[in-house]
Structure 1
Amino acid sequence: MLRAHAHQVLNDATIPELPGAYHGKVRDNYDLPDGRRIIIATDRISAFDRILAAIPFKGQVLTQTARFWFEATADICPNHVLDYPDPNVVVGRRLDILPVEIVVRDYLAGTTGTSILTLYKTGARQMYGVTLPDGLKPNQRLPEPIITPTTKAFDGGHDEPLSPEEILDKGLLTAEQWETLSRYAFALFARGQAMAAERGLILVDTKYEFGLDPEGRIVLADEIHTPDSSRYWFAEGYEAAFEAGGRPPSFDKDFVRSWVADRCDPYKDPIPEIPAELILETAAVYVRAFEMITAKAFEPPAPDEPILQRIRRNLAAYF
């Protein structure tokens, strides 16, 4: 299936007939005059602040995985979704995105400078307004889930860690907004963990993005519990890996990132041509992730119609 559809990738979703264009690293967005936003997930894969390649099915997997979770959590909090006119497209309410990104974590894991494992290894025990006990090992489950909020860098800057006190002191959120965000985030995460466990998966951590609608309600935006916004481990194999001090088995999508980093300075050098087999391996991981997370069979696009042509046809009513 992968080889038959390897030529079907959505590198670019420029549609001149749609207004208010904004092209992100992965998604192409269009703002309609009536307050709706059309979000098209391309197959672009981004790392090192640049686009590395296009992975077949990636945009469809992310859109449909998020759809699965938006529908499964609609009773917990409102979300931005209005319609799904195409497998790669969601139409949502345009929101004023809140300046705090919410990450919920239940394990001592992560590799970035703001991850709790990185900070813990430096000797830090107080972080993000919480205190972690001594003696935790990498990838160990925490005593209870925690929220690790960061600033939302709208201008391409770096996210910075925040505590609840700093969020309120800086006026980033009101006390009521912070209480609502926290309640929503913990409830969404608990639902995600419970449903993931039924599928043999551990939802380790995830990020949420919220915004305000015109009525001032807090609304869940962006994506939810996708393999790009969340860390999943396979439950089978976790204990053995943890006891051995190794990394638990997971959906490893970093083939392309690692391959590039091993061959050049990706922040300065030209990106070498990435082998087709590596692209297909990554596509296979995304498809497997979709099928395991949702317990649904992945439906590939029709082989005889380019993806952008299909999207244009399905969005014609919005022109």
Structure 2
Amino acid sequence: MSTTITETNFNFPGQTAKYTGKVREVYTINDDLLVMIASDRLSAFDVVMPKGIPYKGQILNQIATKMMKATEHLVPNWLIATPDPNVAIGHACEPFKVEMVIRGYMSGHAAREYKAGKRMLCGVEMSNGMIENDKFPSPIITPATKAEMGEHDEDISREDILSRGIVSEEDYILLEIYTYLLFKEGTKIAKERGLILVDTKYEFGKTKEGKIVLIDEIHTPDSSRYFYADTYNELQKKQQPQKQLSKEFVRQWLIGNDFQGKEGQEIPLMSDEYVNSVSERYIELYENITGETFVKGDVSNIMDRIEENVVSFLKK
């Protein structure tokens, strides 16, 4: 697994800062540009797993790039270029401290909360009588606080975001508009691929000029959940689990091995065989979401490759 990226320590020309997230590492250049490297780290329940997943970073970066280009006519984004399969470079932004989670269906975290008897999620009411994976009458926004490494994201309501001054009302209104626009377009793109975009999250930032833009990833299997459209109705009638494209299969494997990121729980052993099976699933996700064959990047000298490509771009 030495060909995976689990940590980077670059010193690029003009570098002024480095930030390490759960999956991405972000280098600030001259306080003007951000170099975002998608690592092969795997995060679930806000915990980073001990082994990297081959090609995962490339897959996430390339899906996010394609989706940003496909939605830039609706919502402005931070992206300037992708000089390497694992790298995106864009405008430096001040991130909003909330993730805009939007759900078209009652799945994942929403379903787990519903099963626990809750009918209110982030100040949004969920109707009685729903079963897991039912479609909401209309998509609902259920924001989460943006956690630092090693901490958990937490549900938060629109009212709390505004009352605590996390985001101004003027900015939040635009975040909601952008979230609905992106989800509508993402739903349309998914439908063309025979998929249902179930839920997803978007992150936004503000440029030096004060412009709100989409940042980070969009419509990737790490940030989104997809169902196969052709089997949805039949499985739902039988109240059977949906066939899906997302990171949920990892979460379910962890739950099955008594791990949900809670205090005192130990991460189960991930064998090389299991790690490779996760890599294969991510490649399947890429090909289904994009409709294109995945081309593996050269990982023989992956750190050298990234450094050369980034430095070459910055020199321009």
TM-score by length of 1: 0.87
The Cα of 1:125 is off from its aligned counterpart by: 2.8
Structure 1 contact 42–59 (Cα < 8 Å) conserved:
yes
Structure 1 contact 80–219 (Cα < 8 Å) conserved:
yes
Q: Write the distance in 1 (CA, Å) between the matches of 2:163 and 2:50.
A: 39
- Matched residue type, 2:289: I
Instruction: Say which SS state the counterpart of residue 26 (structure 2) adopts.
Output: strand
The Cα of 1:181 is off from its aligned counterpart by: 0.7
Partner of 1:46: 43
1:8 matches 2:3: yes
The Cα of 1:271 is off from its aligned counterpart by: 5.7
- Matched residue type, 1:15: F
Partner of 1:97: 95
Residues 160-201 of structure 1, C-alpha deviation per residue, up to 9 Å, x if partnerless? 333222222222222221211111000100100111011111
Structure 2 contact 283–294 (Cα < 8 Å) conserved:
yes
Q: Write the distance in 1 (CA, Å) between the matches of 2:5 and 2:146.
A: 28
Instruction: Say which SS state the counterpart of residue 206 (structure 1) adopts.
Output: strand
Which of 200, 211, 230 is equivalent to 2:205?
A: 211
Q: Write the distance in 2 (CA, Å) between the matches of 1:258 and 1:138.
A: 15
Q: Check 1:144–1:264 CA distance in 2 against 1; reply closer, same or farther (3 A cut).
A: closer
Which of 294, 303, 313 is equivalent to 1:308?
A: 303
Q: Write the distance in 2 (CA, Å) between the matches of 1:255 and 1:194.
A: 24
Q: Check 1:17–1:97 CA distance in 2 against 1; reply closer, same or farther (3 A cut).
A: closer
1:108 matches 2:102: no
Partner of 1:73: 71
Q: Which runs of 5+ in 2 are unaligned?
A: none
* RMSD of aligned Cα (Å): 2.5
Q: Percent identity?
A: 39
Q: Write the distance in 1 (CA, Å) between the matches of 2:265 and 2:129.
A: 41
Q: Write the distance in 2 (CA, Å) between the matches of 1:246 and 1:142.
A: 18
Residues 201-247 of structure 1, C-alpha deviation per residue, up to 9 Å, x if partnerless? 11000001111111111111110000000011111222222122222
Which of 169, 176, 180 is equivalent to 2:170?
A: 176
Q: Write the distance in 2 (CA, Å) between the matches of 1:285 and 1:29.
A: 26
Which of 25, 30, 38 is equivalent to 1:28?
A: 25
Partner of 1:87: 85
Partner of 1:274: 270
The Cα of 1:32 is off from its aligned counterpart by: 0.8
Q: Check 1:96–1:254 CA distance in 2 against 1; reply closer, same or farther (3 A cut).
A: same
Q: Check 1:255–1:53 CA distance in 2 against 1; reply closer, same or farther (3 A cut).
A: farther
Q: Write the distance in 1 (CA, Å) between the matches of 2:161 and 2:250.
A: 36
Q: Write the distance in 2 (CA, Å) between the matches of 1:150 and 1:282.
A: 27
Instruction: Say which SS state the counterpart of residue 236 (structure 1) adopts.
Output: helix
Partner of 1:289: 285
Moved more, 180-189 or 25-34: 25-34
In the comparison of the two structures, how many residue pairs are matched? 309
Q: Check 1:198–1:258 CA distance in 2 against 1; reply closer, same or farther (3 A cut).
A: closer
The Cα of 1:270 is off from its aligned counterpart by: 7.2
Q: Check 1:215–1:60 CA distance in 2 against 1; reply closer, same or farther (3 A cut).
A: same
Q: Write the distance in 2 (CA, Å) between the matches of 1:312 and 1:259.
A: 35
Partner of 1:3: none
Q: Check 1:254–1:156 CA distance in 2 against 1; reply closer, same or farther (3 A cut).
A: same
Structure 2 contact 5–40 (Cα < 8 Å) conserved:
yes
Partner of 2:295: 299
The Cα of 1:299 is off from its aligned counterpart by: 1.1
Q: Write the distance in 1 (CA, Å) between the matches of 2:165 and 2:267.
A: 42
Partner of 1:236: 230
Residues 14-47 of structure 1, C-alpha deviation per residue, up to 9 Å, x if partnerless? 2234532233332222111141111111112134
Instruction: Say which SS state the counterpart of residue 105 (structure 1) adopts.
Output: strand
